[in-house]
Chains A and B, each alone.
Chain A
Amino acid sequence: MEIMVSRSSITTTGNNTGAWRFVRPVYERHTAPCSAACPAGEDIPRIEALVSEKKFKEAGEVILMENPFPSVCGRVCFHPCETACNRAGFDDAVAVNSLERFVGDLLDTSDGSLPFEAKEKNGKRIAIIGAGPGGLSAAYFLSRLGYSCEVFESEEKPGGLLRWGIPAYRLPEQVLDREIKRIESLGVKINCSTRLDSSFIETANESFDGVFVGTGLGSPIMMNIPGEELGIGWEVFLKEVKKGTQKEFKGKAVVIGGGNAAVDVARTLVRLGASVTIAYRRRIEDMPAFGSEIEIAISEGVEILELVAPVAIVQNAEQLSIELQSMKVEGQDGQRAKVVNDGDKKKSIVADRVYSAIGADVEDEWKGAKTVSRPGNRSALYNEKIPVIYGGDLVNADKSVTSAIGSGKEAAIMFDILLAEGGSKAGDEEAVKKTTAACQVGDGQSLSFEAYIGGERRNVVEGVVKFEDINLNYFEKTALKDKNSMKADLNGFDEVESGIDEVSAIYEAVRCFNCGICTDCGICSLFCPELSVLTGNEGRRIELEYCKGCGICVCECPRAAMSLVKEAE
């Protein structure tokens, strides 16, 4: 007789085990600390994910979404992203700045085309005063929103501080020209050698719907010491070198100041052949200039005299004598040492030229503009009918190129809210606050253009990914291998930093934790006991028919791209 055995005839797929669930895993974008720290609000983890997949062009397009100046920023940005990088708590921060330069330099703009289509022209016109990073950024983003922009620049070429204030060995002019050309290809009209004063605003409404003011800091800060007129202002000097009217100087120079301008002047002088001393009233570690720049200056032979304050400049036959008061440290003044006169100890040094580089201030013309530091707080003033928005160094608490770029973007978004058809009336700050809050990158100071125009980043949830949120089991310690590095070249103004090559770029991008974004690594699916993580054209998703809500996927996700949410009662 046949042996009778009971046999299964159906599978378990008919069981709705999803009904067991009381929490549900969701894919959620969280903000990476680098993005939150970026004054231009770039989507850095996405950029690095694309570079790691060798998709350099796509990575460049992701930068261009938020920043028209990748090649410039890849050279001159003070990269707070790297300071904020979660990877720094593991081995070394990812070389984000070097990667930005690598990606930016590969972007082909020869045909002037952009990776995205600008909106149809809306017939509204914005006047932009100042073709610096803030004004050009405002023009870039406004053009993409459909506005016609006209930029007015007092100098003969656009770029502002980027062209006249940053020496060519840090930022070659052709790099700047290339990125400005990309902005012009959007239809932005730049009128050079056209200085506008503040009275322009009074009548601007006759031909414009809004005005952006990004005139920067045009007025050098005075030392208020006898003989000051014997010194040379840093901005005058750097501009002369750029224009080619200063080619050589073999004498001895003293630079007074401790900021980036002082270091730029010193390093420029080294290239002209001078022997250079920086005189600073506090200590080297208190200098506001970027630490890396100071180190490079010292390596290039610049001498730094600490704890001396100039009290007078005296003509001494053919030379100048700088009288210096010795200072001493007495307590702290915020981040820096507080210094006071060290009795009446004095010294004096002799030089052929003295340069004053203690900073710059707002020209009297624009003194009305108020300093701003948070998104949505940017002051929009009204001239009866049209909004006037200030940006860049003129009003930013944080005086940096990338912050200026961020402020231009923020202004563009604000114009669009204020000028929207049937939109907010003049003075309706609530509408601006509400919309800008929705576009804010994490808890940072920048806005996302992608979020504003309704892109993916709109869906980012609140909060910033912390180091503890990263599942370190999926990463191996691999120290930083390569970043933009110095070439010892003091002859002339060739760029002194070289970028990284493709192999290093990919290596570096692979190191990125990609905090808060799904990179389709598959860990969630690997450890799903319910086989409920599915892959589709639009990324990963959870099959809720079976998911029991165990949460392993969320716990194991290497990069905090998932969360558990309560099921509705």
Chain B
Amino acid sequence: MQQTAIPKKVKYDSEYGSTDLLNPGHVGCPGCGAVLAMKFALHALGPDTMLVIPACCWAVIAGPHPQTSLNIPVLHTAFETAGAAASGLRAALDMKGDTKTTVVAWAGDGGTFDIGFQALSGAAERNEDFIYVCYDNEAYMNTGNQRSSSTPYRTRTTTTPGSGKVQRKKNIVEALAAHRIPYAATASISHPEDLIRKFKKAKDMKGGTRFIHIFATCPTGWRCPSEMSVEVARLAVKTNFFPLYEVEKGVKYIINAEGELPVEEYLMTQGRFKHLGDTEIQRVQAMVDDDFAFLKKKTLL
């Protein structure tokens, strides 16, 4: 008789989401995607990790002084300095002979795309040995939702009222790949298995700058129900609004998931896109389609 493989029943939490490095009682908003990003990242990285956190939501979530929500060392630094501070931390550890500890810079989109970009670019150009993580909630959420260069086209923020932001979202992974760093990847809180795999891969590629861009829903700023936090992130992947892919050595592109749903299904879950009419939605769809087609072409390089 032909043997059939029996689908395995997975115990999801112990497989992908168990960590004792994060404490409850933190002050993240209900449904915070950035907290989930940290939870999954720490599951993959383990206790031998040191974090550098510039100004961002996580600077608050990590704990108002003297509290901490993280059971690993954290260096709180100024907004523009994550790349530089992580380089310094790495150098200090190396001088002490500790080459094992993984240094992770953990910044929001403002601290990565805008304010911290020069420090990050400099570190990437020097190929500094750390993992730089941008958890992306697509605006300055900690200060009350001001647009950043990560904010998508036509998103309403407090600084882009009315019909929303005129410019498109900066492609940060492309910018980092241009530095020819060993590894750059996108990940999403809705795909913990994929996210954890990428963090483990990044950790094992020790020796240069590794960049992981995590899509992290902000229910408060995006105006979506907190319980939809994971579902919204999932829809971003399923519509190719936020594709999951990896770039090795700056040139080798690998796509991890291809979406099929119309982008409208994603946009309509959030108040920040509620003002969009059919024409604008079609324009966003065309941009998403073009971007994804271009991404696919890059995999052929």
Q: Which residues of A contact B (CB under 8 A)?
A: 6-17, 20-21, 52-53, 473, 476, 478, 481, 501, 503-504, 506-507, 510-511, 519-527, 529-533, 543, 545-546, 548-552, 554-556, 564
Rounded to whole Å, the gap between the CB of A186 and the closest CB of chain B is 35
Contacts of B11 in A (CB 8 A): 520-522
| B282 at the binding interface (Cβ < 8 Å) | no
Once the chains bind, are B12 and A14 in contact (CB under 8 Å)? no
Q: Least Cβ distance of A99 to chain B in Å?
A: 14
Report how far A331 CA is from B114 CA in the complex, Å: 73
B6 close to A12 (CB less than 8 A): no
Task: Name 13 extra pairs, CB < 8 A, besides A526-B192, A531-B39.
Answer: A8-B66, A11-B68, A14-B67, A15-B26, A522-B14, A524-B13, A525-B13, A526-B16, A527-B36, A529-B28, A529-B35, A551-B30, A551-B31
Query: 24 A–B contact pairs at CB < 8 A?
Result: A7-B66, A8-B65, A11-B67, A11-B69, A11-B71, A12-B69, A13-B24, A14-B67, A15-B25, A21-B30, A476-B7, A503-B3, A503-B6, A511-B7, A519-B9, A522-B10, A522-B14, A529-B35, A529-B36, A529-B39, A530-B35, A552-B31, A555-B228, A555-B231
Structural contact, A507 and B69, CB atoms closer than 8 A: no
Q: How far is the CB of A181 from chain B (nearest CB, A)?
A: 32
Q: Look across to chain B and name the residue whose beta carbon is closest to the beta carbon of A501.
A: B1
Contacting pair B230 A10 (CB below 8 A): no
A8 touches B227 (CB 8 A): no
Chain B nearest Cβ from A28, distance in angstroms: 15
Task: Tell me the chain B residues, 23-74 only, with Cβ under 8 Å from chain A.
Answer: 23-28, 30-33, 35-36, 39, 63, 65-69, 71, 74
Residues of A within 8 A of B66 (CB): 6-10
> Which residues of chain A come closer than 8 Å to B7, judged between CB atoms?
476, 478, 507, 510-511
A529 touches B68 (CB 8 A): no
* A531 lies within 8 A of B22 (CB): yes
Q: In the complex, which of the residues B3, B39, B74, B227 contacts A564, with contact meaning CB atoms closer than 8 Å? A: B227
Q: In the complex, which residue of chain B has the Cβ closest to the Cβ of A524?
A: B13
| Closest CB in chain B relative to A411 CB, distance in Å | 39
Q: Are B4 and A481 in contact, CB atoms less than 8 angstroms apart?
A: yes
Smallest CB gap from A471: residue in B: B231
Return the 3 tightest CB-CB contacts between A and B, nearest first.
A551-B227, A522-B13, A550-B31
CA distance A533 to B24 in the complex (A): 11
Cross-chain contact A17 with B12 (CB below 8 angstroms): no
Q: Which of B12, B26, B67, B228 meets A10, CB within 8 Å?
A: B67
B31 touching A531, Cβ below 8 Å: no
- Give the Cβ gap from B139 to chain A, nearest Cβ, in Å: 19
Interface size class on chain B is 35 or more
Contacts of B154 in A (CB 8 A): none
Q: How many pairs, one residue from A and one from B, have CB atoms within 8 Å of each other in the complex?
A: 141
When C-beta atoms are compared, the residue in chain B nearest to A526 turns out to be B17
CB contact under 8 A between A550 and B24, given known A507-B7, A510-B9 = no
CB-CB under 8 A from A552, the residues of chain B are 31, 226-227, 229-230
| Contact call B226/A12, Cβ cutoff below 8 A | no
In the complex, whether B271 has a CB less than 8 A from a CB of chain A is: no
The 8 Å CB contact of A550, one of B9, B63, B226, B234, is: B226
Contact partners of A564 in chain B: CB under 8 A: 227
B225, CB-defined interface residue at 8 Å: yes
Report chain B residues within 8 Å CB of A546. 24-25
Interfacial chain B residues near A8, Cβ < 8 Å: 63, 65-68, 74
| Known contacts A12-B23, A526-B16: A548-B4 contact under CB 8 Å | no
Q: With contacts A14-B67, A522-B11, A529-B35 known, is A548 near B234, CB below 8 A?
A: no
Residues of B within 8 A of A522 (CB): 10-15, 17
- Complex Cα–Cα for A13 and B67 (A): 9
* B192 partner residues in chain A, CB cutoff 8 A: 526
Contact flag A527-B17 (CB < 8 Å), given A550-B226, A552-B226:
yes
A556 B230 Cβ-Cβ under 8 A: yes
Residues of chain B within 8 A of A523, CB atoms compared: 12-13
Please name all residues of chain A whose beta carbon is closer than 8 Å to the beta carbon of B35 when the two chains form the complex: 529-530
Given contacts A529-B28, A531-B23, contact A507 B67 (CB under 8 A): no
CA distance A564 to B26 in the complex (A): 22
Among B10, B28, B63, B226, point to the contact of A521 (Cβ < 8 A): B10
Closest CB in chain A relative to B118 CB, distance in Å:
25
Which of B17, B30, B229 has most A Cβ within 10 Å?
A: B30
Q: How far is the CB of A546 from chain B (nearest CB, A)?
A: 4
CB contacts (< 8 Å) of B3 on chain A: these are 503
| Complex interface: chain A residues within 8 A of B68 (CB) | 8, 10-12
**Shortest beta-carbon distance, B86 to chain A, in Å?**
17
Residues on the B chain within 8 Å of A478, using CB: 7
Taking the nearest CB of chain B, how far is it from the CB of A500, in angstroms?
11
Distance in angstroms from A178 CB to nearest chain B CB is 27
B229 nearest CB across to chain A (Å) = 6
Identify which of A15, A473, A507 gathers the most chain B CB atoms within 10 Å of its CB: A15
Q: How far is B66's CA from A506's CA once the two chains are assembled, in angstroms?
A: 52
Determine which residue in A8, A507, A510 has the highest number of CB atoms from chain B within 10 A of its CB, and name it: A8
Counting chain B CB atoms within 10 Å of each CB, the highest count among A15, A519, A552, A554 belongs to: A552
Given contacts A8-B65, A9-B66, A10-B66, contact A521 B9 (CB under 8 A): yes
Which of B1, B17, B23, B28 is close to A11, meaning CB atoms less than 8 Å apart?
B23
Alpha-carbon separation in the docked complex, A9 to B66 (Å): 6
CA distance A6 to B63 in the complex (A): 13
B24 and A17 within 8 A (CB):
yes
Residue of B nearest to A23 (CB): B227
Residue numbers in B under 8 Å from A507 (CB-CB) = 4, 6-7
